[in-house]
Chains A and B, each alone.
Chain A
Amino acid sequence: MILNHAQIRLAINYPEICARTEKGDFRMKPLFTSACVTALFASTALAQTYTGDVAIDAEDVAIGQKHYSPYLDQSYPNRVFFGDTHTHTSYSTDAGSRSTRSPR
């Protein structure tokens, strides 16, 4: 069975699903038994997502099996988020000591 990223990630992030599956009280047992086994092998590689290589590669453009919806097979950035990485609030000594009161 070919699993998509979401299923593998679910199994990695929620090991209790694996435990429950092994006890036989999880409805999607066949799927998640496979996911849990895959997760065992995949967890090392996926864990590196957060520490090492975060580049978008060819696999991120087409993941796993063919789906009707193209979005299930995509794992590349398609949204822009705007933010501020340097804001002083009332919690900052520089601002809080000079009458900045937000947030209280």
Chain B
Amino acid sequence: MKGDGEAHPMLSPDDEFADYGTWDTGSFGPELKTPDMLPREYARSAYLRGLAYEQDLGVNPFRFGMVGSTDSHTGLATTTEDNFFGKITLTEPTADPIRFEELVTGRATPDDPSDDIIHAQALASGLAAVWSRENTREAIWDALARKEVYATTGTRLRVRVFAGTSFSADDLARSDFAGHGYANGVPMGGDLKGLGGDDVPGLLIRALRDPDGANLDRVQVVKGWVDADGVTQERVYDVACADGREIVEGACDGAVGNTVDVASATFTNAIGDPFLETYWQDPEFDPSQSAFYYVRVLEIPTPRWTTYDAAFFGVDLPDSVWPTHQDRAYTSPIWYTP
């Protein structure tokens, strides 16, 4: 709710989707945000810094899984745009301007509006998604412990990943897809180690939209690694594109489009695909370099909660946020260690 923590556009300037729900101006104290703070505040840079620490220390302190959650203060975990009950009771659904204008950060510096973030910028997010054997405390705990989890920004899309060196595109069609994946590879949150020869990590990826939600735009693999000079690098690959778009130089050929009617706060699934799957092999794999891979799945554009509010209450759209956005999922990484 208080900003999206996957990536920041200044840290990942080549990632055109990095600027999602960014909260980077405010704090809850008197200190203003400075750019040197950013690398310590986003998951992707933590994963990269973890690889760098591993070079120096022999251990990676940032091998964590990826989940989303709300930090709601209302007792309600409302994470969808069309059903957002706000951060605190004061900002529950109402036509009152407080719903958009309530100050969340910058309270400690009343004379300086540069660090103000208002409630209109809150995200109707997020959810922790857990791959589990069964709905028991033990099984869910085990899933969290092995990091077989992913984050969503509020919708219930389903993402599955297996990484290994013996997979092929034919495995996508197997009736025992998951059993084969577990028996011959590792799921999200897992490890690959010490590959040599011609072995190259390959990822089997399946993504299914929220059954009551929006179609998918694309599936991406985010790779981070430490290069031969010991410098951390990152790259985002588009690996599956809806609507038959080709992948040109690692990116979907063109945007998916936008069906949102802002005035009525509606969209249609006339664009995008309900299901995307692919087999992807790292084209730049170097077995001597530490790396991680995680999957990001983007939905097609949908109305933001503020747009639903404007349509329902007949109030003006806030100018601090875009009227549409692309909900998404981020999986826990799969780490490769030489």
Contact = CB atoms under 8 A, between A and B. Distances in A.
Interface residues of A, number: 35
A79 B133 contact: yes
Given A76-B133, A81-B129, A83-B127, A88 B72 contact: yes
B193 to A, nearest CB: 13
Interface in A63-104: 74-90, 92, 94-95, 98-103
A61 B182 contact: yes
A2 B295 CA distance: 40
Most B C-beta atoms less than 10 A away, residue of A83, A85, A89, A95: A85
B209 interface: no
B14 interface: no
Most B C-beta atoms less than 10 A away, residue of A60, A84, A98, A100: A84
Given A56-B182, A74-B179, A80-B158, A86 B70 contact: yes
A1 interface: no
Contacts of B146: 54-56
Given A77-B148, A79-B135, A100 B158 contact: no
Contact of A76 (B135, B140, B178): B178
A85 B134 contact: no
A79 B134 contact: yes
A49 interface: yes
A75 B142 contact: no
Interface in B89-137: 89-90, 127-135
Contact of B128 (A50, A56, A85): A85
A45 interface: no
A81 B130 contact: yes
B67 interface: yes
B74 A79 contact: no
B89 A98 contact: yes
B145 interface: yes
B129 A82 contact: yes
A74 B178 CA distance: 10
B282 interface: no
A63 to B, nearest CB: 11
B76 interface: yes
A28 interface: no
Most B C-beta atoms less than 10 A away, residue of A61, A94, A101: A61
B77 A84 contact: yes
A100 B179 contact: no
A81 B142 contact: no
Contacts of B142: 49-50, 54
Nearest 6 A/B pairs, CB to CB = A102-B75, A84-B77, A86-B69, A77-B131, A95-B73, A89-B75
9 contacts: A54-B146, A56-B187, A61-B179, A77-B148, A77-B178, A81-B129, A85-B67, A88-B74, A98-B73
Interface of B: 67, 69-77, 79, 88-90, 127-135, 138-143, 145-146, 148, 152, 156, 158, 178-179, 182-183, 187, 190
